[in-house]
Amino acid sequence: MFRDRVYPAYVRAMRPRLRRKRQGTDRSQALGPLIVFCAVLGLNTDESLVYQLFAFLLCAILISRFSLRLSKPNVSVHRKLPNYATADQPFEYQIIVDNTGNRTEADLRLVDIPLVQPPTRQQFRTEAEPGETSRNAYDQFIGFHRFIYLQRRNTGITIEPAQVPDIARKSHVTVRMQATPSRRGLIQLSRTHILHPDPLNLYEGITRFENPETMLILPKRYSINAKVFLPGGRHFQPGGISASWSIGESDEFVSLRDYRDGDSMRKIHWPSSAKQNKPVVREFQDEYFVRQALVLDNTCVISEQLEEAISIAATFLLALNNSDSMLDLIYLADQAEILTSGRGTSAINEQLETLATLKRSDESASKLLNASLEHIKKLSGCILILSGWSNAQKDLADSLSRSGVPLKVFIITDERTANDIPAQYVPLPINRIQEVLSAL
């Protein structure tokens, strides 16, 4: 196949060129054609003096390049990243530039370089660029635009260069960098470049710093209407006293009663025991509070639909999260996994981190159904997010609907199949997700 044969050439062609020690400015790019033009017109030195202009421009370029060797800045850099960022939302971070030399450093530019990750051969073969069908037949055949799109998506972030303020000797400045992540997951930053111009501003020298670092990008999120929240009251939660760390109704005092054999000494109410001259213990009521589940189907083979399903799951996790309830995230990895947040359990950050790194599962949706049905008796309500609409996903939705627990089902689909979704479920056409969620 042509794309398999051309794939290694694309990888080599788009590999970053690390040997460069300088790069031309806009001024030098305009000067290049002028030098060639003067060289051609000045071939006959007897009839034209244009060769003198050619010699002058050539000397300017040579002086410019030589001066870069003498003006290399003595600096070091240190990056300070936030703990998290969100896909498709710009954020800022800081890079501290230290002047370790004995002169003031001026006119520096800072460029932070992410690790460029070309697509795998399998990605290049199977994953299409959005809107690829609108390109001409030649572009679709060679697949170069697809390769560029997949490489940018895998790299996952764009970072704007920043101007560095003048740095006094033995001092430092903090430079604020603007970045926009384009996907969730782990983003790798590899190098930081300091660019310094020559006196003629024809070229910029490049000082490289190996500065590898990784940060986690959370899934993008949508705004939703509060009416989509689930009905359902409080349910008894076995072991809730220790799980909820005595919050709200858990471990709440009800009354005093006489001591009975087997009661813990810690429950004795000593003031009342002293008044009545017999042991009296405190009695507590059982633990009743809201516990909801978010069941995420991550079995879809269409990557765009899977990404949207994960984004909607992250949206509901944040919307349903509060300190007076528990929220279970149920998903598929090697097997069905349940991760709980709220009331003394893990923080919601762990659930968001899990979604940020979640991959498609090859397991059957029946495993997700079995885990959900085993867990459903503890629940006040449930949200099911399906990344597609196959027979297995239909069985999953119908089985949970018959469980008797309040359930809302959201299905990622396209405009063609949205009308095939049963009326009791909510279809989310992939190009109108925000519109549909806002109208609920």
- From 193, 218, 243, the end of a domain falls on 218
The torsion defined by the Cα of 342, 343, 346 and 351, in degrees rounded to 10, comes to -10
Residues 259, 212, single domain; the answer is no
Residues 192, 321, single domain; the answer is no
Is residue 130 in some structural domain? yes
What is the reported pLDDT for 243? Answer: 46
Residues 11, 142, single domain; the answer is yes
Residues 73, 139, single domain; the answer is yes
Is residue 244 in some structural domain? no
Is residue 193 in some structural domain? yes
- From 240, 270, 286, the end of a domain falls on 286
Query: Which phi and psi (to 5°) does residue 333 adopt?
Result: -120, -120
Residues 196, 213, single domain; the answer is yes
What is the reported pLDDT for 72? Answer: 86
Produce one character per residue of 294-317: b if its CB has 16 or more CB atoms within 10 Å, e if not.
bbbbbbbeeeebbbbbbbbbbbbb
Is residue 158 in some structural domain? yes
Q: What is the pLDDT along the chain (440 residues), one digit of tens a residue?
A: 677 888 888 888 888 776 667 788 888 888 888 888 888 877 777 777 888 888 888 888 888 888 888 888 999 999 999 999 999 999 999 999 999 988 899 999 999 999 999 999 888 888 888 888 889 988 888 889 999 999 999 999 999 999 999 999 889 999 999 999 999 999 999 999 999 998 888 888 898 999 999 999 999 999 887 666 665 555 545 444 444 444 444 455 567 778 777 777 888 888 888 888 888 887 765 555 678 889 999 988 888 899 999 999 999 988 887 756 788 899 998 888 888 887 655 678 889 999 999 999 888 888 888 888 888 877 888 899 999 888 888 999 999 888 888 889 999 988 777 778 888 899 999 888 999 888 87
- From 286, 305, 331, the end of a domain falls on 286
What is the reported pLDDT for 18? Answer: 65
Is residue 199 in some structural domain? yes
> Which stretches does DSSP call E strand in 297-386?
325-332, 336-341, 381-386
Alpha-carbon radius of gyration of the chain: 32
Instruction: Output the CA–CA distances (angstroms, integers) from residue 269 to 247, 278, 281, 389, in the order listed.
Output: 21, 10, 5, 59
Residues 303, 426, single domain; the answer is yes
* Ramachandran region, residue 107 (left: φ > 0; alpha: ψ -120 to 50; beta: rest): left
Is residue 71 in some structural domain? yes
Residues 13, 114, single domain; the answer is yes
Query: Which structural domain, as residue segments, surrounds residue 424?
Result: 226-232+291-439
The torsion defined by the Cα of 217, 218, 223 and 226, in degrees rounded to 10, comes to -160
Residue 386: give its domain's CATH number.
3.40.50.410
Residues 237 and 276: beta-carbon distance below 8 Å: no
Residues 395, 421, single domain; the answer is yes
Query: Structural domain tally of the chain?
Result: 3
User: Alpha-carbon torsion 242, 243, 244, 249, what sign?
Assistant: negative
pTM of the model: 0.79
Residues 411, 299, single domain; the answer is yes
Is residue 273 in some structural domain? yes
Give the count of beta carbons closer than 10 Å to the beta carbon of residue 109: 15
What is the reported pLDDT for 16? Answer: 77
Residues 191, 156, single domain; the answer is yes
Is residue 242 in some structural domain? no
What is the reported pLDDT for 283? Answer: 72
What is the reported pLDDT for 156? Answer: 92
Residue 171: give its domain's CATH number.
2.60.40.10
Three-state secondary-structure class, residue 94: strand
Sequence-ordered list of residues with C-beta below 8 angstroms from that of 122, at least 6 positions apart, any chain:
none
Residues 312, 278, single domain; the answer is no
Strand order in the sheet with 91-99: 75-80, 91-99, 172-181, 157-159
Amino acid code (one letter) for 418: A
What is the reported pLDDT for 111? Answer: 94
Residues 315, 361, single domain; the answer is yes
